[in-house]
Homo-oligomer: A and B are copies of this chain.
Amino acid sequence: MNISGQIYYDGAWRAGEGATYQASNPANGADLAPVMSTASKAQVDAAVAAAHRAFLSYKNTSPHVRATFLRNCADEIMALGDELLDRVSAETAYPRGRAEGERARTCGQLRMFADYVEHGEHFDARIDTAQPERQPLPRADIRFLNHALGPVVVFGASNFPLAFSVAGGDTASALAAGCPVLVKGHSSHPGTCELVARAMAKAAENCGMPPGVFSLLMGEGSIVGSALVSAPQVKAVGFTGSTSGGMALYKLANERPEPIPVFAEMGSVNPVILLPQALRKSAPTIAKDFVASLTLGVGQFCVNPGLVLAVEDEGLDDFVKATSVALAESPAGTLLNKRICSAYGEGLERYSQLDGVEVVGRGRAVELTEGHHAQACLLRTTAEFFLANSAIHEEIFGPVSLLVVCKNKNELLEIVTHLAGQLTGTIHASENELENSPELVELLTLKVGRLVINSFPTGVEVCPSMVHGGPFPASTDARFSSVGTAAIKRFLRPVCYQNYPQSVLPDALKNNNPLGLLRTVNGEVTTSSIA
Protein backbone atom coordinates (compact mmCIF):
# COMPACT_ATOMS: atom_id res chain seq x y z
CA MET A 1 0.00 0.00 0.00
CA ASN A 2 1.42 3.35 -0.93
CA ILE A 3 1.06 6.33 1.33
CA SER A 4 -0.72 8.97 -0.75
CA GLY A 5 -0.65 12.01 1.53
CA GLN A 6 -4.45 12.21 1.29
CA ILE A 7 -7.07 12.72 3.97
CA TYR A 8 -10.20 10.60 4.46
CA TYR A 9 -13.77 11.64 5.13
CA ASP A 10 -17.33 10.86 4.06
CA GLY A 11 -16.16 7.46 2.89
CA ALA A 12 -13.49 8.61 0.41
CA TRP A 13 -9.82 9.49 0.21
CA ARG A 14 -9.18 12.98 -1.13
CA ALA A 15 -6.30 15.40 -1.53
CA GLY A 16 -6.38 17.88 1.34
CA GLU A 17 -6.95 21.45 0.20
CA GLY A 18 -4.92 22.99 3.03
CA ALA A 19 -1.15 23.44 3.29
CA THR A 20 1.25 20.61 2.53
CA TYR A 21 4.18 19.36 4.62
CA GLN A 22 6.50 16.41 5.03
CA ALA A 23 7.28 14.23 7.98
CA SER A 24 10.87 13.67 8.95
CA ASN A 25 12.79 10.86 10.54
CA PRO A 26 13.78 12.01 14.03
CA ALA A 27 16.80 9.70 14.03
CA ASN A 28 18.53 11.52 11.19
CA GLY A 29 16.38 14.51 10.26
CA ALA A 30 15.76 13.14 6.75
CA ASP A 31 12.47 14.03 5.06
CA LEU A 32 10.04 11.17 4.63
CA ALA A 33 8.10 10.86 1.37
CA PRO A 34 5.46 11.63 0.29
CA VAL A 35 4.30 15.22 0.65
CA MET A 36 1.27 15.17 2.98
CA SER A 37 -1.83 17.30 2.47
CA THR A 38 -3.99 18.90 5.14
CA ALA A 39 -7.69 19.63 5.38
CA SER A 40 -9.23 22.98 4.51
CA LYS A 41 -11.98 24.48 6.66
CA ALA A 42 -14.53 23.46 4.01
CA GLN A 43 -13.25 19.90 4.14
CA VAL A 44 -13.53 19.85 7.92
CA ASP A 45 -17.13 21.03 7.60
CA ALA A 46 -17.91 18.33 5.04
CA ALA A 47 -16.30 15.70 7.26
CA VAL A 48 -18.31 16.81 10.28
CA ALA A 49 -21.55 16.80 8.29
CA ALA A 50 -20.80 13.25 7.12
CA ALA A 51 -20.01 12.19 10.68
CA HIS A 52 -23.35 13.58 11.84
CA ARG A 53 -25.20 11.69 9.11
CA ALA A 54 -23.33 8.53 10.04
CA PHE A 55 -24.23 9.05 13.70
CA LEU A 56 -27.94 8.80 12.98
CA SER A 57 -27.59 5.21 11.85
CA TYR A 58 -24.37 4.08 13.53
CA LYS A 59 -25.69 4.90 17.02
CA ASN A 60 -28.38 2.27 16.55
CA THR A 61 -26.19 -0.56 15.29
CA SER A 62 -26.47 -3.71 17.36
CA PRO A 63 -23.66 -4.68 19.73
CA HIS A 64 -22.78 -7.55 17.41
CA VAL A 65 -22.47 -5.32 14.34
CA ARG A 66 -20.33 -2.83 16.22
CA ALA A 67 -18.14 -5.57 17.67
CA THR A 68 -17.63 -7.09 14.23
CA PHE A 69 -16.54 -3.71 12.92
CA LEU A 70 -14.07 -3.17 15.79
CA ARG A 71 -12.56 -6.64 15.32
CA ASN A 72 -12.26 -6.03 11.61
CA CYS A 73 -10.41 -2.79 12.31
CA ALA A 74 -7.88 -4.81 14.34
CA ASP A 75 -7.60 -7.43 11.58
CA GLU A 76 -7.01 -4.80 8.91
CA ILE A 77 -4.37 -3.07 11.03
CA MET A 78 -2.56 -6.40 11.44
CA ALA A 79 -2.87 -6.94 7.70
CA LEU A 80 -0.80 -3.80 7.08
CA GLY A 81 2.13 -5.93 8.22
CA ASP A 82 5.69 -4.69 7.99
CA GLU A 83 4.78 -1.57 6.08
CA LEU A 84 3.11 -0.18 9.20
CA LEU A 85 5.91 -1.23 11.56
CA ASP A 86 8.55 0.24 9.25
CA ARG A 87 6.70 3.52 8.95
CA VAL A 88 6.20 3.78 12.72
CA SER A 89 9.92 3.30 13.26
CA ALA A 90 10.83 5.79 10.53
CA GLU A 91 8.52 8.46 11.92
CA THR A 92 9.20 7.96 15.63
CA ALA A 93 12.62 6.31 15.94
CA TYR A 94 10.94 3.72 18.15
CA PRO A 95 12.56 0.31 17.83
CA ARG A 96 10.75 -2.57 16.12
CA GLY A 97 9.82 -4.19 19.43
CA ARG A 98 8.07 -1.05 20.63
CA ALA A 99 6.19 -0.69 17.35
CA GLU A 100 5.06 -4.31 17.56
CA GLY A 101 4.10 -3.99 21.20
CA GLU A 102 2.10 -0.85 20.57
CA ARG A 103 0.36 -2.45 17.61
CA ALA A 104 -0.58 -5.40 19.79
CA ARG A 105 -1.98 -3.05 22.42
CA THR A 106 -3.93 -1.09 19.81
CA CYS A 107 -5.50 -4.18 18.29
CA GLY A 108 -6.05 -5.59 21.76
CA GLN A 109 -7.97 -2.44 22.73
CA LEU A 110 -10.19 -2.68 19.67
CA ARG A 111 -10.93 -6.34 20.46
CA MET A 112 -11.48 -5.60 24.15
CA PHE A 113 -14.12 -3.01 23.27
CA ALA A 114 -15.69 -5.46 20.80
CA ASP A 115 -16.09 -7.99 23.61
CA TYR A 116 -17.25 -5.26 25.97
CA VAL A 117 -20.09 -3.97 23.77
CA GLU A 118 -21.22 -7.52 23.07
CA HIS A 119 -21.34 -8.11 26.82
CA GLY A 120 -23.47 -4.96 27.00
CA GLU A 121 -22.30 -3.49 30.31
CA HIS A 122 -21.98 -0.09 28.65
CA PHE A 123 -25.77 0.06 28.24
CA ASP A 124 -26.19 0.19 32.04
CA ALA A 125 -29.71 -1.08 31.33
CA ARG A 126 -32.11 -0.44 34.20
CA ILE A 127 -35.79 -1.22 34.51
CA ASP A 128 -38.24 -0.12 37.19
CA THR A 129 -41.55 -1.76 36.41
CA ALA A 130 -44.91 -0.07 36.91
CA GLN A 131 -46.64 -0.08 40.28
CA PRO A 132 -50.20 0.87 39.32
CA GLU A 133 -51.46 0.26 42.87
CA ARG A 134 -48.85 2.34 44.66
CA GLN A 135 -50.15 4.97 47.11
CA PRO A 136 -50.44 7.93 47.12
CA LEU A 137 -49.52 7.85 43.42
CA PRO A 138 -49.00 4.97 40.99
CA ARG A 139 -45.54 4.48 39.51
CA ALA A 140 -45.15 4.37 35.74
CA ASP A 141 -42.91 1.85 33.98
CA ILE A 142 -39.50 3.54 33.74
CA ARG A 143 -36.41 2.26 31.95
CA PHE A 144 -32.89 3.62 31.51
CA LEU A 145 -30.34 3.05 28.75
CA ASN A 146 -27.07 4.64 27.73
CA HIS A 147 -26.95 6.11 24.23
CA ALA A 148 -24.08 7.35 22.10
CA LEU A 149 -23.36 11.03 22.70
CA GLY A 150 -22.67 12.05 19.09
CA PRO A 151 -19.68 12.53 16.78
CA VAL A 152 -16.40 12.61 18.72
CA VAL A 153 -13.18 14.39 17.77
CA VAL A 154 -10.00 12.54 18.72
CA PHE A 155 -6.60 14.22 18.81
CA GLY A 156 -3.75 11.80 18.31
CA ALA A 157 -0.74 12.02 20.62
CA SER A 158 2.83 12.28 19.36
CA ASN A 159 4.20 9.65 21.72
CA PHE A 160 1.84 6.78 20.92
CA PRO A 161 1.60 6.68 17.12
CA LEU A 162 -0.75 3.68 17.33
CA ALA A 163 -2.24 3.26 20.82
CA PHE A 164 -3.21 6.92 21.39
CA SER A 165 -3.61 7.85 17.76
CA VAL A 166 -5.87 7.10 14.78
CA ALA A 167 -7.19 3.76 16.07
CA GLY A 168 -6.15 4.20 19.68
CA GLY A 169 -8.10 4.00 22.90
CA ASP A 170 -10.12 7.17 22.33
CA THR A 171 -11.22 6.04 18.88
CA ALA A 172 -11.95 2.47 20.00
CA SER A 173 -14.02 3.58 22.99
CA ALA A 174 -15.96 6.18 20.99
CA LEU A 175 -16.75 3.76 18.17
CA ALA A 176 -17.74 1.16 20.75
CA ALA A 177 -20.10 3.69 22.32
CA GLY A 178 -21.76 4.25 18.94
CA CYS A 179 -20.10 7.57 18.16
CA PRO A 180 -18.52 8.32 14.78
CA VAL A 181 -14.94 9.51 15.15
CA LEU A 182 -13.14 12.38 13.46
CA VAL A 183 -9.41 11.96 14.03
CA LYS A 184 -7.06 14.89 13.92
CA GLY A 185 -3.85 12.97 13.28
CA HIS A 186 -0.55 14.08 14.78
CA SER A 187 1.76 15.70 12.25
CA SER A 188 4.78 13.90 13.69
CA HIS A 189 3.62 10.58 12.22
CA PRO A 190 1.31 11.34 9.29
CA GLY A 191 2.30 8.28 7.27
CA THR A 192 1.44 6.03 10.20
CA CYS A 193 -1.86 7.90 10.53
CA GLU A 194 -2.69 7.32 6.90
CA LEU A 195 -1.82 3.62 6.95
CA VAL A 196 -3.97 2.98 10.02
CA ALA A 197 -6.78 5.10 8.59
CA ARG A 198 -6.64 2.97 5.42
CA ALA A 199 -7.17 -0.09 7.59
CA MET A 200 -10.06 1.60 9.42
CA ALA A 201 -11.64 2.76 6.15
CA LYS A 202 -11.35 -0.73 4.73
CA ALA A 203 -12.93 -2.25 7.83
CA ALA A 204 -15.79 0.27 7.66
CA GLU A 205 -16.36 -0.71 4.03
CA ASN A 206 -16.06 -4.45 4.75
CA CYS A 207 -18.67 -4.14 7.48
CA GLY A 208 -21.07 -1.88 5.61
CA MET A 209 -20.67 1.00 8.06
CA PRO A 210 -22.08 4.38 6.96
CA PRO A 211 -19.65 6.77 5.24
CA GLY A 212 -18.58 9.24 7.88
CA VAL A 213 -18.30 6.71 10.70
CA PHE A 214 -14.57 7.38 10.66
CA SER A 215 -12.50 10.27 9.27
CA LEU A 216 -8.83 11.22 9.25
CA LEU A 217 -8.10 14.90 8.89
CA MET A 218 -4.52 16.04 9.01
CA GLY A 219 -3.60 19.65 9.65
CA GLU A 220 -0.55 21.37 11.00
CA GLY A 221 -1.12 24.00 13.63
CA SER A 222 -4.46 24.40 15.32
CA ILE A 223 -6.73 25.44 12.44
CA VAL A 224 -8.19 22.02 11.71
CA GLY A 225 -8.40 21.16 15.40
CA SER A 226 -10.24 24.38 16.24
CA ALA A 227 -12.67 23.92 13.37
CA LEU A 228 -13.42 20.39 14.54
CA VAL A 229 -13.98 21.33 18.17
CA SER A 230 -16.15 24.30 17.17
CA ALA A 231 -18.42 22.35 14.82
CA PRO A 232 -21.97 22.22 16.26
CA GLN A 233 -22.49 18.56 15.33
CA VAL A 234 -19.45 17.46 17.38
CA LYS A 235 -20.48 16.36 20.87
CA ALA A 236 -17.23 15.42 22.67
CA VAL A 237 -13.46 15.58 22.39
CA GLY A 238 -10.71 13.18 23.42
CA PHE A 239 -7.18 14.54 23.66
CA THR A 240 -3.81 13.32 24.89
CA GLY A 241 -0.93 15.77 24.91
CA SER A 242 0.39 18.94 26.47
CA THR A 243 -1.30 21.08 29.09
CA SER A 244 -1.32 24.09 26.76
CA GLY A 245 -2.87 22.10 23.91
CA GLY A 246 -5.41 20.41 26.12
CA MET A 247 -6.47 23.60 27.88
CA ALA A 248 -6.83 25.50 24.60
CA LEU A 249 -9.29 22.89 23.38
CA TYR A 250 -11.06 22.77 26.73
CA LYS A 251 -11.53 26.55 26.65
CA LEU A 252 -12.74 26.47 23.06
CA ALA A 253 -15.23 23.70 23.81
CA ASN A 254 -16.61 25.54 26.82
CA GLU A 255 -17.06 28.78 24.92
CA ARG A 256 -19.18 27.20 22.18
CA PRO A 257 -22.86 28.20 22.13
CA GLU A 258 -23.40 24.58 23.19
CA PRO A 259 -20.48 23.60 25.45
CA ILE A 260 -19.24 20.04 25.01
CA PRO A 261 -17.13 17.80 27.24
CA VAL A 262 -13.41 17.56 26.57
CA PHE A 263 -11.45 14.78 28.11
CA ALA A 264 -7.86 16.01 27.93
CA GLU A 265 -5.15 13.85 29.46
CA MET A 266 -2.32 16.31 29.90
CA GLY A 267 0.35 14.29 31.69
CA SER A 268 1.99 14.81 35.05
CA VAL A 269 5.23 14.26 36.95
CA ASN A 270 4.01 11.01 38.52
CA PRO A 271 5.63 11.19 41.95
CA VAL A 272 7.54 8.15 43.16
CA ILE A 273 7.97 8.01 46.93
CA LEU A 274 10.81 5.89 48.25
CA LEU A 275 10.48 5.00 51.92
CA PRO A 276 13.57 4.16 54.01
CA GLN A 277 12.97 0.46 54.71
CA ALA A 278 12.42 -0.26 51.04
CA LEU A 279 15.58 1.61 50.10
CA ARG A 280 17.69 -0.03 52.80
CA LYS A 281 16.53 -3.41 51.63
CA SER A 282 16.57 -2.95 47.85
CA ALA A 283 18.15 0.33 46.74
CA PRO A 284 20.10 -1.22 43.84
CA THR A 285 17.09 -3.05 42.42
CA ILE A 286 14.82 -0.03 42.82
CA ALA A 287 17.45 2.16 41.12
CA LYS A 288 17.79 -0.25 38.21
CA ASP A 289 14.02 -0.51 37.73
CA PHE A 290 13.68 3.24 38.11
CA VAL A 291 16.19 3.96 35.35
CA ALA A 292 14.50 1.39 33.12
CA SER A 293 11.14 3.11 33.69
CA LEU A 294 12.63 6.59 33.27
CA THR A 295 14.31 5.79 29.97
CA LEU A 296 11.60 3.56 28.49
CA GLY A 297 10.52 5.08 25.18
CA VAL A 298 13.18 7.76 25.83
CA GLY A 299 11.05 8.99 28.71
CA GLN A 300 8.20 9.94 26.41
CA PHE A 301 5.36 8.54 28.49
CA CYS A 302 2.58 10.45 30.23
CA VAL A 303 3.33 8.27 33.23
CA ASN A 304 7.10 8.76 33.17
CA PRO A 305 8.43 8.97 36.77
CA GLY A 306 9.46 12.63 36.72
CA LEU A 307 9.57 13.25 40.47
CA VAL A 308 11.16 11.17 43.22
CA LEU A 309 10.53 11.96 46.88
CA ALA A 310 12.59 10.47 49.67
CA VAL A 311 13.89 11.17 53.16
CA GLU A 312 17.65 11.56 53.84
CA ASP A 313 19.08 8.20 54.69
CA GLU A 314 21.94 5.93 53.79
CA GLY A 315 19.56 3.83 51.71
CA LEU A 316 18.82 6.94 49.66
CA ASP A 317 22.54 7.53 49.14
CA ASP A 318 22.79 3.99 47.80
CA PHE A 319 19.84 4.65 45.50
CA VAL A 320 21.43 7.81 44.09
CA LYS A 321 24.74 6.05 43.50
CA ALA A 322 23.13 3.08 41.82
CA THR A 323 20.93 5.34 39.72
CA SER A 324 23.92 7.38 38.56
CA VAL A 325 25.72 4.20 37.55
CA ALA A 326 22.70 2.82 35.73
CA LEU A 327 22.11 6.14 33.98
CA ALA A 328 25.73 6.36 32.87
CA GLU A 329 25.27 2.99 31.16
CA SER A 330 22.07 4.11 29.48
CA PRO A 331 22.74 5.49 25.99
CA ALA A 332 21.06 8.64 24.72
CA GLY A 333 17.88 8.04 22.77
CA THR A 334 16.10 9.75 19.93
CA LEU A 335 13.16 11.97 20.80
CA LEU A 336 10.06 12.13 18.61
CA ASN A 337 10.58 15.49 17.03
CA LYS A 338 12.53 18.70 17.08
CA ARG A 339 10.03 20.54 19.26
CA ILE A 340 10.11 17.90 21.98
CA CYS A 341 13.90 17.80 21.78
CA SER A 342 14.24 21.57 22.12
CA ALA A 343 11.74 21.70 24.99
CA TYR A 344 13.63 18.92 26.74
CA GLY A 345 16.94 20.70 26.42
CA GLU A 346 15.47 24.02 27.52
CA GLY A 347 13.71 22.42 30.47
CA LEU A 348 16.87 20.71 31.68
CA GLU A 349 18.83 23.92 31.26
CA ARG A 350 16.24 25.95 33.17
CA TYR A 351 16.14 23.51 36.08
CA SER A 352 19.85 22.84 36.35
CA GLN A 353 20.78 26.53 36.28
CA LEU A 354 18.94 27.06 39.53
CA ASP A 355 21.17 27.30 42.58
CA GLY A 356 19.10 24.77 44.48
CA VAL A 357 19.14 22.09 41.78
CA GLU A 358 22.07 19.86 40.86
CA VAL A 359 22.64 17.17 38.26
CA VAL A 360 23.50 13.89 39.97
CA GLY A 361 23.25 11.49 37.07
CA ARG A 362 23.42 11.65 33.30
CA GLY A 363 22.81 9.19 30.48
CA ARG A 364 25.62 8.21 28.15
CA ALA A 365 26.11 10.49 25.16
CA VAL A 366 26.13 8.92 21.71
CA GLU A 367 28.14 10.15 18.76
CA LEU A 368 25.47 11.31 16.42
CA THR A 369 25.33 14.68 14.80
CA GLU A 370 21.93 14.43 13.05
CA GLY A 371 18.57 13.84 14.72
CA HIS A 372 16.92 14.72 17.99
CA HIS A 373 18.78 12.91 20.72
CA ALA A 374 18.54 13.21 24.46
CA GLN A 375 20.51 11.90 27.42
CA ALA A 376 18.54 10.88 30.46
CA CYS A 377 19.09 12.86 33.61
CA LEU A 378 18.56 12.78 37.36
CA LEU A 379 18.36 16.14 39.09
CA ARG A 380 18.37 16.66 42.84
CA THR A 381 17.01 19.37 45.11
CA THR A 382 15.86 19.78 48.69
CA ALA A 383 12.30 19.77 49.94
CA GLU A 384 12.75 23.33 51.13
CA PHE A 385 13.85 24.52 47.69
CA PHE A 386 11.13 22.52 45.95
CA LEU A 387 8.39 23.95 48.15
CA ALA A 388 9.63 27.48 47.52
CA ASN A 389 9.86 27.10 43.73
CA SER A 390 6.68 26.00 42.00
CA ALA A 391 8.46 26.51 38.65
CA ILE A 392 10.17 23.15 39.20
CA HIS A 393 6.92 21.28 39.84
CA GLU A 394 6.16 21.11 36.14
CA GLU A 395 6.72 18.22 33.79
CA ILE A 396 9.71 18.25 31.45
CA PHE A 397 8.64 15.80 28.75
CA GLY A 398 11.45 13.29 28.31
CA PRO A 399 13.83 11.07 30.33
CA VAL A 400 14.44 13.35 33.32
CA SER A 401 13.47 13.02 36.94
CA LEU A 402 13.87 15.34 39.89
CA LEU A 403 14.82 13.81 43.23
CA VAL A 404 13.58 15.87 46.16
CA VAL A 405 15.42 15.04 49.35
CA CYS A 406 13.39 15.61 52.49
CA LYS A 407 14.83 16.06 55.96
CA ASN A 408 12.07 14.00 57.50
CA LYS A 409 8.70 12.44 56.90
CA ASN A 410 6.87 15.67 57.70
CA GLU A 411 8.62 17.45 54.86
CA LEU A 412 7.68 14.58 52.62
CA LEU A 413 4.02 14.87 53.64
CA GLU A 414 4.19 18.63 53.11
CA ILE A 415 5.33 18.11 49.54
CA VAL A 416 2.63 15.56 48.79
CA THR A 417 0.08 17.99 50.22
CA HIS A 418 1.25 20.64 47.77
CA LEU A 419 1.38 18.45 44.67
CA ALA A 420 -0.97 19.19 41.79
CA GLY A 421 -3.18 16.41 40.42
CA GLN A 422 -1.31 13.46 38.90
CA LEU A 423 -2.02 10.50 36.65
CA THR A 424 -0.13 8.21 38.99
CA GLY A 425 1.52 8.10 42.42
CA THR A 426 3.95 5.39 43.44
CA ILE A 427 5.22 4.24 46.80
CA HIS A 428 8.13 1.91 47.42
CA ALA A 429 7.84 0.59 50.94
CA SER A 430 7.96 -2.53 53.01
CA GLU A 431 4.50 -3.83 53.87
CA ASN A 432 5.11 -2.79 57.45
CA GLU A 433 6.14 0.71 56.37
CA LEU A 434 3.06 1.01 54.19
CA GLU A 435 0.72 -0.07 56.98
CA ASN A 436 2.34 2.52 59.24
CA SER A 437 1.94 5.34 56.72
CA PRO A 438 -1.83 5.79 56.41
CA GLU A 439 -1.51 9.56 56.21
CA LEU A 440 0.91 9.38 53.30
CA VAL A 441 -1.21 6.84 51.43
CA GLU A 442 -4.31 8.93 52.04
CA LEU A 443 -2.71 12.20 50.90
CA LEU A 444 -1.36 10.57 47.77
CA THR A 445 -4.74 9.02 46.98
CA LEU A 446 -6.29 12.50 46.91
CA LYS A 447 -3.85 13.54 44.21
CA VAL A 448 -3.86 10.69 41.70
CA GLY A 449 -5.86 8.50 39.35
CA ARG A 450 -3.64 5.43 39.86
CA LEU A 451 -1.66 4.27 42.88
CA VAL A 452 1.29 1.93 42.36
CA ILE A 453 3.08 0.00 45.08
CA ASN A 454 6.66 -1.30 44.74
CA SER A 455 6.69 -1.01 41.00
CA PHE A 456 6.83 1.85 38.48
CA PRO A 457 4.01 3.67 36.72
CA THR A 458 5.08 3.04 33.12
CA GLY A 459 3.22 0.22 31.43
CA VAL A 460 -0.49 1.11 31.47
CA GLU A 461 -2.46 -2.13 31.52
CA VAL A 462 -5.56 -2.06 29.31
CA CYS A 463 -8.26 -3.69 31.43
CA PRO A 464 -11.53 -2.94 33.26
CA SER A 465 -9.72 -1.77 36.40
CA MET A 466 -7.38 0.70 34.76
CA VAL A 467 -7.67 4.45 35.41
CA HIS A 468 -5.70 6.72 33.11
CA GLY A 469 -6.67 10.20 34.14
CA GLY A 470 -6.62 12.02 37.44
CA PRO A 471 -7.30 15.26 39.26
CA PHE A 472 -6.58 18.45 37.33
CA PRO A 473 -4.14 19.27 35.77
CA ALA A 474 -3.42 15.60 35.02
CA SER A 475 -6.71 15.60 33.16
CA THR A 476 -9.63 17.95 32.67
CA ASP A 477 -12.12 15.65 34.40
CA ALA A 478 -11.03 13.25 37.14
CA ARG A 479 -14.35 11.40 36.83
CA PHE A 480 -13.21 9.64 33.67
CA SER A 481 -10.41 7.43 32.36
CA SER A 482 -9.03 7.35 28.83
CA VAL A 483 -7.72 3.77 29.08
CA GLY A 484 -9.60 0.57 29.86
CA THR A 485 -13.26 -0.25 29.48
CA ALA A 486 -14.23 2.71 31.71
CA ALA A 487 -13.09 5.00 28.86
CA ILE A 488 -16.37 4.36 27.05
CA LYS A 489 -18.28 6.32 29.72
CA ARG A 490 -16.93 9.57 28.32
CA PHE A 491 -19.07 9.12 25.23
CA LEU A 492 -22.39 7.88 26.59
CA ARG A 493 -25.44 9.62 27.97
CA PRO A 494 -28.45 8.06 29.66
CA VAL A 495 -31.96 8.22 28.21
CA CYS A 496 -35.02 7.36 30.27
CA TYR A 497 -38.12 5.68 28.77
CA GLN A 498 -41.39 6.23 30.60
CA ASN A 499 -44.50 4.21 29.82
CA TYR A 500 -43.01 2.88 26.57
CA PRO A 501 -44.78 0.06 24.73
CA GLN A 502 -42.66 -3.08 24.26
CA SER A 503 -42.83 -2.80 20.49
CA VAL A 504 -41.02 0.54 20.46
CA LEU A 505 -38.49 -0.04 23.26
CA PRO A 506 -34.85 -0.67 22.29
CA ASP A 507 -33.94 -4.38 22.44
CA ALA A 508 -31.75 -3.78 25.48
CA LEU A 509 -34.82 -2.79 27.50
CA LYS A 510 -37.43 -5.22 26.21
CA ASN A 511 -39.07 -7.51 28.76
CA ASN A 512 -37.77 -10.70 27.14
CA ASN A 513 -34.16 -9.41 27.24
CA PRO A 514 -33.28 -10.50 23.69
CA LEU A 515 -29.67 -9.35 24.09
CA GLY A 516 -29.21 -11.45 27.25
CA LEU A 517 -27.91 -8.46 29.20
CA LEU A 518 -27.20 -8.18 32.90
CA ARG A 519 -29.75 -5.51 33.86
CA THR A 520 -30.82 -3.82 37.06
CA VAL A 521 -34.51 -4.71 37.40
CA ASN A 522 -36.30 -3.15 40.37
CA GLY A 523 -32.95 -2.83 42.10
CA GLU A 524 -31.77 -6.41 41.43
CA VAL A 525 -28.98 -7.24 38.98
CA THR A 526 -30.24 -10.05 36.76
CA THR A 527 -30.27 -11.52 33.26
CA SER A 528 -33.86 -12.70 33.71
CA SER A 529 -36.75 -11.78 31.48
CA ILE A 530 -39.63 -9.80 32.90
CA ALA A 531 -42.95 -11.58 33.08
Contacts and interface: CB of A to CB of B under 8 A. Distances in A.
A450 B119 CA distance: 25
B467 A435 contact: no
Nearest to A501: B431
Interface string A484-501: 101001101111111111
Contacts of A96: none
B500 A451 contact: yes
A429 to B, nearest CB: 9
Given A259-B476, A453-B499, A472-B259, A463 B142 contact: yes
Interface size class of A (residues with CB under 8 A): 35 or more
A518 interface: yes
B143 A495 contact: no
B518 A525 contact: yes
Interface stretch (A29-37, A84-92, A133-141, A355-363): A133-141
B258 A473 contact: yes
Contacts of A127: 465
A391 interface: no
Contact of A495 (B56, B60, B449, B495): B449
A330 interface: no
Contacts of A442: 56, 60
Interface stretch (A3-11, A340-348, A397-405, A454-462): A454-462
A127 B484 CA distance: 13
A149 interface: yes
A438 B493 CA distance: 20
A466 interface: yes
Contact of A435 (B147, B499, B503): B503
A126 interface: yes
Contacts of A331: none
A520 B523 CA distance: 17
Which of A101, A442, A465, A469 has the most chain B CB within a 10 Å cutoff? Answer: A465
A144 B487 CA distance: 13
Contacts of A251: 254
B464 A126 contact: yes
A147 B499 contact: no
Which of A126, A484, A494, A518 has the most chain B CB within a 10 Å cutoff? Answer: A494
B435 A504 contact: yes
A479 interface: yes
A494 B449 contact: yes
A452 interface: yes
Nearest to A454: B499
A140 B449 contact: no
A387 interface: no
Contacts of A258: 421, 472-473
A445 B147 contact: yes
Contacts of A464: 126, 128, 144, 520, 523
A441 B259 CA distance: 25
A116 B493 CA distance: 21
Which of A139, A481, A501 has the most chain B CB within a 10 Å cutoff? Answer: A501
Contact of A149 (B137, B139, B476, B478): B478
A493 B466 CA distance: 13
B495 A137 contact: no
B465 A143 contact: yes
Contacts of A495: 445, 448-451, 467
Contacts of A500: 451, 453
A155 interface: no
A496 B431 contact: no
B465 A142 contact: yes
Given A258-B421, A445-B495, A525-B525, 19 more contacts: A56-B442, A127-B465, A128-B464, A142-B465, A144-B486, A149-B478, A431-B504, A441-B504, A449-B493, A450-B497, A450-B498, A451-B496, A451-B498, A453-B499, A455-B499, A465-B496, A469-B494, A479-B494, A481-B494
13 contacts: A101-B136, A126-B464, A139-B463, A250-B254, A254-B254, A435-B503, A445-B495, A448-B495, A451-B496, A451-B497, A452-B499, A453-B500, A518-B525
